[in-house]
Amino acid sequence: MNLTIDNQLITLDVLRSAWQQQLTVSLGESAKRRIAESNELIVEVVAGGEQVYGVNTGFGQLASVRISDDELAHLQANLVRSHAVGVGEDLDDDIVRLIMLMKVIALAEGYSGVRLELVETLCDMINHNIFPRIPSRGSVGASGDLAPLAHMSGALIGEGEVRVNGSLLPASVALENAGIRPVKLAPKEGLALLNGTQVSTALALAAAFRTENLLAAVMMAGAMSSDAIKGSDTPFDKRIQNVRGHGGQIAVAAVLRGLMHGSDIRASHQECDRVQDPYSIRCQPQVVGACLDVLRHVCSVLETEANAVTDNPLVFTDSKSVLSGGNFHAEPVALAADYLALAIAEIGALSERRIALLIDSHMSGLPAFLVADGGVNSGFMMAQVTAAALASENKSHAHPASVDSLPTSANQEDHVSMATFAARRLHTMLDNVADIIAIELLAAAQGIEFHRPKKSSPVIEAVISDLRKISPAYEEDRSLSSDIRRVAASVDHGAYCEHAASVLPSLAT
């Protein structure tokens, strides 16, 4: 993907593409002009001797310490070095690529006072697939994602390590190999790089995109489970949804109707005496639809944040002002991530309940535990236990991170957002839900096949055919672990998005 940053809105679909694939980034003329004008004002401030936080002062509680002009470059390099204290496993390169892109977007707005050379170097690193090694832990999401962004910034000045095509190299070596000169930081540049919410926002965006993939899959799994138990599609009637009015509910019901359209199994029991299905079947539009509404809200917040200027202080060339504020505080991201955590937990919880329904012969009308020769074979008994364990684990992960604030920097930073952890923990939850949905897909396919020669809808039959290439029909006991893992990978990679793309925020056209 080729992307020119020129002060335009970078939309969700572009951000999703940047997360999924390599890209080439360049700056447009408007962005170059605004960057240059902003930097000129910082040069004037330094020349005039005015004391400005982060330009010629210390940081945090040391903001009152005036730094001499001959130490200003040293000040910025020391800021990067002292703040590079992250720990834990490294962030994946796709997350780092998003972080770097959003830092370019923010700096290109022309409110940060950095030189054009710095922003273009960041672009060059993206274009050469040079991704700084960034530990995932160590940010409280206030005053920006300081520690992880310091690791990113260290690579810009030729320090630390980077990954190039999956291989670790010293940053200085990787830059030299690519013909990129390390940046010698000028006044304010270290602070502009370290202040910002790009790490927490990238983690949250990636989680939102993964949630889209899982929502598409859980709608498919739900439609399949409905047909497997000979459930009714009447609760998905658009008239029922319209009188309540929630957009997500209306959209999910429409997807479910489309997935089940043309099912011979559904047609075979139109006149049956069952009055109502269990809630996990009947209330899918209401539950999954509410989760879709949450996702849409979260995506709106994150799109705004991805385009935001979140460093400090900010440079306003029209009034020749350098103003200190708090745009680095990541509370909007923290609250959005906590909100999304609830939806992710509910997606998994509903799917697990349908697995339990499928294996219960009294409720589903299917052979107990979805195996023909029960007793000798245990079938899907333990697969449901795994799903229950994962759904229960997610209840703990869904506890809000944003309500827990520990002061830092000698109480100068006395309220923090915890946005980075709030966003990072979403990925553990999503891993769990992908496995739950994989189990439901396998169980529902097994259930539908007990109705042969009757068939489900053409769309669902095609999905079952694809599943059988990964996991053969369950005729006698065997380990399902590897089957679950393979199906979960297809869920997580968006294998079912084509059937629901029109309702998903970053895929809708």
- Read off the amino acid at residue 300: S
- Read off the amino acid at residue 98: L
Please give the torsion angle defined by the CA atoms of residues 88, 90, 91 and 97, in that order, rounded to the nearest 10 degrees: 150
Angle (CA) 419 425 427, round 5°: 120
250 to 91, 223, 235, 459, 507: CA distances (angstroms): 37, 15, 11, 20, 18
Return left, alpha or beta for 504; rule: phi > 0 is left, psi -120 to 50 is alpha, else beta.
beta
Task: Establish whether the linkage from the previous residue to 235 is cis, with ω within 30° of 0.
Answer: no
What is the distance between the terminal CA atoms of the chain, rounded to a whole angstrom?
Answer: 18
Distance CA 462, CA 460 (A): 5
Catalytic (active-site) positions: 53
Three-class SS of residue 415? coil
Angle (CA) 303 495 224, round 5°: 110
**Which of 87, 94, 329 shows the shortest CA–CA distance to 207?**
94
Bridge partner list, 504: none
Sign of CA dihedral 342, 298, 13, 307: negative
